[in-house]
Amino acid sequence: MTQTPSPRPFHHPQPGSALHCGKVSLETLARRYGTPLYVYSAEQIAERLNLFQQALAGRSHLVCYAVKANSALAILKLLADRGAGFDIVSGGELERVLAAAPEAAGRVVFSGVGKTAAEIDLALTAGILEFNVESEAELALLAARARKLKRSARFALRVNPDVFADTHPYISTGLREHKFGIDIRQALGIYKSAAGNRWLEAHGVSVHIGSQIRSAQPFGKAMERVGKLVAQLKHEGIELKCVDAGGGLGIDYHGGAFDAAAKVAEYAAAIQGALANFDGRLLIEPGRFLVAQAGALVARVLTVKRNGKKTFVITDAAMNDLIRPALYQAHHEIVPVRPRPGRPRVVDVVGPVCESGDFFARDRKLAHVEPGDLVALLDAGAYGMAQSSNYNTRMRPAEVLVEGARARLIRRRETMADLLAPEIL
């Protein structure tokens, strides 16, 4: 089944009108819920999930959304209702999945290099699909907890395929020098020694080579190495039910024409091509690709200030609301919600936080804006709210989900009482 890509969710219905998410004006939302405000398009998230599901429709598969990209309960529910599973990296994320969609517990895979006994117990009790185990020590702990709870544990070794993925060094994970996974050359031996343990079931193998990877080629290369391991294991009498290709497919943050369907098709072909001899279930763990472009952070311009040669546009959103530019030198397109006449200027767009790292853009040509105007930071649906903090005692933004002509508050703005609640004087 082919799909025509729908327009970007954030658009101007008519020239000169306010920027909309679907059928809803961001001006209306800012008036109703205040700023800074995260706005997400439910339609786009569902559409992206569908692209992966269609691309893998020819075989047994499960799309496990990486919860850490955006863990809003309403988004988890939206995805669970459409058949998605989940990739979690903490007990807290499992609690979120159980709160949003308890019926999806059996579609959860648990990744992460440092799982505690308590987290493992929670996941064993919930009956998750698979533990992606990242060390021999973790496998021993998993076996001990499974024995204690008298529940057999399905595990996959997260192997490190030693594949280089061209992305920011903080989000590259597939090289031997990274902390993630088990050297693929040691995996066979570990599967063999686990075979004697009645509380462990060798269920799968997983990889995750990094994030924001724009080319399909490293995914294919990693899967080729995994495919070889799967064949070796089969030869040794260990037949895996799942291969988990991880997440990491990147998007375009620069506002160019982006054919998501073509990207997904290319990616799916690369990983499936390398697994031609495996007829078990294929798992993937996309995070960013599902939610990034569905979201924007809407902020209000507080001041436009000149310091010497530089012009600073100061917004009411800051690095505590969206840390990606400060953390990864990430680029987000910034557009006025209601364009006004006037020449574009080269400016820094910054927040009020007391850090020079508190910027959204530097030396950026920005359309003319005045104090009081609204701007939208685009492609902020992934690793935006999820990485937000209360730094500078700032309250986290509210979040709104747009479904067709309807907008729904899915998280209210934090209050000072929320922030003070855990403290003891």
Give the footprint of ligand PLP on this chain (CB under 6 A). Answer: 66, 68-69, 87, 89, 111, 208, 211, 246-249, 285-289, 382
Residue nearest ligand PLP by beta-carbon distance = 287
Q: Return the DSSP state at 121.
A: H
Strand partners, 133: 157
Cβ atoms 340, 368 nearer than 8 A? yes
Residue (25 or 211) nearer to ligand PLP, CB = 211
Q: How far is the CB of 363 from ligand PLP (least distance, A)?
A: 28
CB atoms within 10 A of CB 92: 12
Instruction: Quote the least distance from Cβ 354 to ligand PLP, whole Å.
Output: 30
Task: Compute the Cα dihedral for 104, 107, 252, 386 and give only its sign.
Answer: positive
Radius of gyration over alpha carbons of the chain, in Å?
23
- Cα–Cα separations (whole angstroms), residue 236 to 195, 220, 233: 11, 24, 5
* Beta carbon nearer to ligand PLP, 89 or 301: 89
Token pair for 155: 């595990």
CA torsion, points 76, 78, 83, 84, in degrees to nearest 10? -30
From the list 172, 173, 207, the residue with the least C-alpha distance to 187 is 207
User: In the bound complex, what is the minimum distance in angstroms from residue 392's beta carbon to ligand PLP?
Assistant: 27
Report d(CA 255, CA 249) in Å as an integer.
17
From CA 204, how far away is CA 283, in angstroms rounded?
10
Q: Which is nearer to ligand PLP, 236 or 259 (CB)?
A: 259
The whole-angstrom distance between residue 129's C-alpha and the CA centroid of its chain comes to 20
CB of 87 to ligand PLP, least distance (A): 5
Compare residues 29 and 378 and give the one whose CB is closer to ligand PLP.
378
Least distance CB 208 / ligand PLP (angstroms):
4
**Tell me, what DSSP letter sits at residue 103?**
G
Considering the complex, what minimum distance in angstroms separates the CB of residue 119 from ligand PLP? 15
State the minimum distance, in angstroms, from the CB of residue 357 to ligand PLP: 23
Which of 338, 309, 325, 423 is closest to 380 using CA atoms?
325
Residue with Cβ nearer ligand PLP (65 or 191): 65
> Catalytic residue among 21, 64, 242, 354, which?
354
Q: Compute the distance between CA of residue 67 and CA of residue 90 in angstroms, rounded to an integer.
A: 10
Q: Are 193 and 180 in contact (CB under 8 A)?
A: no
Using CA atoms, how far residue 259 sits from 76, 251, 263, 401, in Å, is: 24, 10, 6, 23
Nearer CB in complex with ligand PLP: 36/247: 247
| Helix extents (H) in 67-195 | 73-81, 91-100, 117-126, 136-149, 184-194
Tokens of 258: 């982006």
64 tagged catalytic: no
Whichever of 97 and 249 has its CB closer to ligand PLP, that residue is 249
Show which residues are catalytic. Answer: 354
